[in-house]
Structure 1
């Protein structure tokens, strides 16, 4: 992923705060010899607090998932999260004083890539603890029963999954929102997103405006 200086996260807090609100991504696992990589869409819970500068990711997948042999062979993986994206038509990006048709179409988006070392969790007690932490991220307290080994309603299901602790070893974060463009162009993009009101335009506009205010 190419990251220009104006697209880079300003500090660790920026990408961590963004990731706290974006918890669905794609896990890329190196394939076995002669096979392409596995790419697994999944929900996850990011925890910035464990040891190391980047924290860890908690997730689980079904035991029959075909990626496990590849993960066991090579635990170095990449978790990719992309959101708050929108298409920007060319006229919105036209240089000041230039005809609208001279503008170049582009995309705006936020992307965080976490390089991780995967630790597979198979011990039932450890899996229960991992699931409680992960589910606790998504569901309000009291909405579901605590996972406990051998106890209903989830204890009997533990054998059907494997847990993952992804130890984050490196991070690449990009916030591509035309931060290097003249103010006139940035204003035009902001107005275009607000006026168009597409499915993801409001989220993209919010990130663009936040980064402009923090510049």
Structure 2
């Protein structure tokens, strides 16, 4: 992932807060077997002290690739919007001469994958995930010797992704003048399509922290 200096995360707390704010779905990418393209799997995830936790169906063909090469990438992205060129034209120029771009946030984790096959370890992984996704506890106990989860554990495998590097990108024109970014955020809020409003919120948040970009 290419990151311009003005698009980089400002500190670890920034991307951590963004992930914690409901961004818990991403794309697992693994190296393909010889002669095959890399494989990708969209999935929910949770985190646990330097690890990302996920589980996948046992028949998923991605397991063979992971066993062959456990070095993987997990990417999370969101708060994205298309910015038309007319919004980005320089003052005093023809609006149609403006160049369009995309705004987005992306966090990319480089990981070492550890497969979880022990039944109790898989149950613990699921308990951790359910504590995040169903914090009210409105589900049956996850135990290896109790239905419904006990009999289903054999149908899944868990993954503990040991995070070795994190790269975060917040692409919201932070190198542009303050007036420009403020105007684009207003346009996004007014248009209000898709993730326009969250994108505007990210742009304004970064604007408050970055101010005028200084190399």
Match of 1:41 in 2: 42
Q: Distance in 2 between matches of 1:114 and 1:146?
A: 31
In structure 2, stretches of 5+ residues that fail to align are 211-215
Match of 2:23 in 1: 22
Q: Does 1:133 align with 2:134?
A: no
Offset, 1:97:
2.0
Name segments (4+ residues, structure 1) moved above 4 Å. none
Q: Distance in 2 between matches of 1:146 and 1:10?
A: 41
Q: TM (normalized to structure 1)?
A: 0.95
1:30-82 per-residue CA deviation (whole Å, 9 max, x = no partner) reads 011111111001011123xx2xxxx1100000000001011011100000111
* 8 A contact 2:54–2:159 mirrored in 1: yes
Following superposition of structure 1 onto structure 2, how do residues 1-215 of structure 1 map, counting pairs within 5 Å? 1-20=1-20, 21-47=22-48, 50=49, 55-215=50-210
**How many residues matched?**
209
In structure 1, stretches of 5+ residues that fail to align are none
SS at 1:39 equivalent: strand
Offset, 1:95:
1.1
CA RMSD of aligned residues (A): 0.9
Match of 2:213 in 1: none
Q: Distance in 1 between matches of 2:179 and 2:169?
A: 23
Q: Distance in 1 between matches of 2:63 and 2:152?
A: 18
Q: Distance in 2 between matches of 1:86 and 1:134?
A: 30
Q: Distance in 2 between matches of 1:34 and 1:121?
A: 27
Offset, 1:116:
0.3
1:180-203 per-residue CA deviation (whole Å, 9 max, x = no partner) reads 001221122111101101011011
Higher mean Cα deviation, 179-188 or 163-172?
A: 179-188
SS at 1:78 equivalent: strand
1:125-168 per-residue CA deviation (whole Å, 9 max, x = no partner) reads 10000110012111122211221011012110000000000000
Offset, 1:206:
0.9
Q: TM (normalized to structure 2)?
A: 0.95
Q: Distance in 1 between matches of 2:182 and 2:208?
A: 13
Q: Distance in 2 between matches of 1:22 and 1:160?
A: 27
